[in-house]
Chains A and B, each alone.
Chain A
Amino acid sequence: MASRLDLHGLTKSFGSTPVLRGVDLAVEAGEFVAVIGPSGCGKSTLLRVIAGLEEQDCGHVCIGGASVDALAPKSRDVAMVFQSYALYPHMTVAQNIALPLAMRDLSRVERLPLVRRLSARVAAKRAIMAEAVATAAAQVELTDMLSRKPGQLSGGQRQRVALARALVRQPRLFLLDEPLSNLDATLRASTRSEIVELQRRLGTTTVYVTHDQAEAMTMAHRIAVMFGGEIVQFGTAREIYDRPADIRVAQFIGTPRMNLLPAQVTGGDVRVAGRAEPIGRCDSVMNGAVRIGVRPEHVSLTASPGAQLDGVIRRVEFLGSEVLAHVLPRGMAGPVVVRASPDSGELRTDSEVALRFAAHALHLFDAKGLRHTIEPAARSTGRAGTI
Chain B
Amino acid sequence: MTAVALDVKAQGRRPLLGQRRRAESRVGWLLVTPLLCGLILFLIAPCLAVLVMAFTDWQLGAGHINFTGLTNFADLAGDNVVRISARNTVVYALMVAPLSVAIGVWLAVLIERSPIGRAFFRSIFFLPVVSTTVAMAIVWEFLLHPAIGPLNTAIALLGLPPQGFLNNANTVLATLAAIGVWENAGYNMVLVMAGLKTIPRDLYDAAAVDGADRPYERFWTVTLPMLGPTLVFVVIVSFLRSFRVFETVAAITQGGPRRASEVVLFTIYQEGFVFFRVGYASALTVVFVLVLLAITLIKFRLLDRSVHYG
Flag the segment in B44-52, B77-85, B206-214, B297-305 that touches A. Answer: B206-214
Alpha-carbon distance A35/B52, docked complex (angstroms): 74
Closest to B220 in A: A111
Interface flags for A78-97 (1: CB within 8 Å of B; 0: not) read: 11101110101111000000
Cβ-based interface call for A196 (8 A):
no
| Interchain nearest-CB distance for A318 vs B (Å) | 36
**Cβ–Cβ contact A99 & B202, under 8 A:** no
Q: Pick the contact of A86 from B205, B212, B310 — CB < 8 Å?
A: B205
- Which residues of chain B in 192-206 are interfacial with respect to chain A, using CB atoms and an 8 Å cutoff? 200, 202-203, 205-206
**Cβ–Cβ contact B209 & A78, under 8 A:** yes
- Which residues of chain A in 44-87 are interfacial with respect to chain B, using CB atoms and an 8 Å cutoff? 48, 51-53, 72-74, 78-80, 82-84, 86
**Cβ–Cβ contact A73 & B221, under 8 A:** no
- Which residues of chain A in 206-249 are interfacial with respect to chain B, using CB atoms and an 8 Å cutoff? none
Number of A interface residues at 8 Å Cβ cutoff, please give it. Answer: 26
**Cβ–Cβ contact B226 & A86, under 8 A:** no
Cβ-based interface call for B232 (8 A):
no
**Cβ–Cβ contact B310 & A80, under 8 A:** no
Interface centre among A51, A103, A108 (most CB of B within 10 A): A103
Interfacial chain A residues near B308, Cβ < 8 Å: 89-90, 149, 151
| Interchain nearest-CB distance for B215 vs A (Å) | 12
Q: Pick the contact of B206 from A82, A108, A151 — CB < 8 Å?
A: A82
Number of B interface residues at 8 Å Cβ cutoff, please give it. Answer: 19
Cβ-based interface call for B257 (8 A):
no
Cβ-based interface call for A100 (8 A):
yes
**Cβ–Cβ contact B210 & A74, under 8 A:** yes
* Contact count A vs B, C-beta below 8 Å: 66
Interface flags for A146-160 (1: CB within 8 Å of B; 0: not) read: 000101000000000
**Cβ–Cβ contact A89 & B211, under 8 A:** no
Cβ-based interface call for B228 (8 A):
yes
Decide yes or no: A103 and B212 within 8 Å by CB, A88-B222, A89-B226, A89-B310 being known contacts: yes
Cβ-based interface call for B128 (8 A):
no
Interfacial chain A residues near B213, Cβ < 8 Å: 72-74
Alpha-carbon distance A75/B104, docked complex (angstroms): 33
Interfacial chain B residues near A100, Cβ < 8 Å: 209-211
Closest to B222 in A: A88
Q: Pick the contact of B221 from A80, A88, A104 — CB < 8 Å?
A: A88
Alpha-carbon distance A234/B228, docked complex (angstroms): 46
**Cβ–Cβ contact B200 & A84, under 8 A:** yes
Decide yes or no: A82 and B226 within 8 Å by CB, A89-B310, A103-B210 being known contacts: no
**Cβ–Cβ contact A99 & B221, under 8 A:** yes
**Cβ–Cβ contact A99 & B205, under 8 A:** no
Interfacial chain A residues near B200, Cβ < 8 Å: 84, 86
Closest to A175 in B: B209
Cβ-based interface call for B225 (8 A):
yes
**Cβ–Cβ contact B205 & A82, under 8 A:** yes
Interface flags for B55-92 (1: CB within 8 Å of A; 0: not) read: 00000000000000000000000000000000000000
Interfacial chain B residues near A48, Cβ < 8 Å: 205
Cβ-based interface call for A43 (8 A):
no
Alpha-carbon distance A57/B56, docked complex (angstroms): 79
Cβ-based interface call for B217 (8 A):
yes
Interfacial chain B residues near A91, Cβ < 8 Å: 225
Alpha-carbon distance A309/B310, docked complex (angstroms): 60
Interface centre among B209, B217, B222, B228 (most CB of A within 10 A): B209
Alpha-carbon distance A165/B221, docked complex (angstroms): 15
Decide yes or no: A79 and B226 within 8 Å by CB, A86-B200, A90-B308 being known contacts: no
Interface centre among B208, B211, B226 (most CB of A within 10 A): B211
| Interchain nearest-CB distance for B301 vs A (Å) | 18
| Interchain nearest-CB distance for A71 vs B (Å) | 11
Interfacial chain B residues near A79, Cβ < 8 Å: 209
Interface flags for B206-246 (1: CB within 8 Å of A; 0: not) read: 10111111000100011001101000000000000000000
Interfacial chain A residues near B205, Cβ < 8 Å: 48, 51, 53, 80, 82, 86
Interfacial chain B residues near A84, Cβ < 8 Å: 200, 202
Binding site for B on A (CB under 8 A): 48, 51-53, 72-74, 78-80, 82-84, 86, 88-91, 99-100, 103-104, 108, 149, 151, 165
- The contact sample of 18 A-B pairs, CB cut-off 8 A, is A48-B205, A74-B208, A74-B212, A78-B209, A82-B206, A86-B202, A88-B203, A88-B221, A89-B226, A90-B228, A99-B210, A100-B209, A103-B210, A103-B212, A103-B217, A149-B308, A151-B308, A151-B310
Q: Which 3 A-B pairs have the closest CB atoms?
A: A103-B211, A86-B206, A86-B202
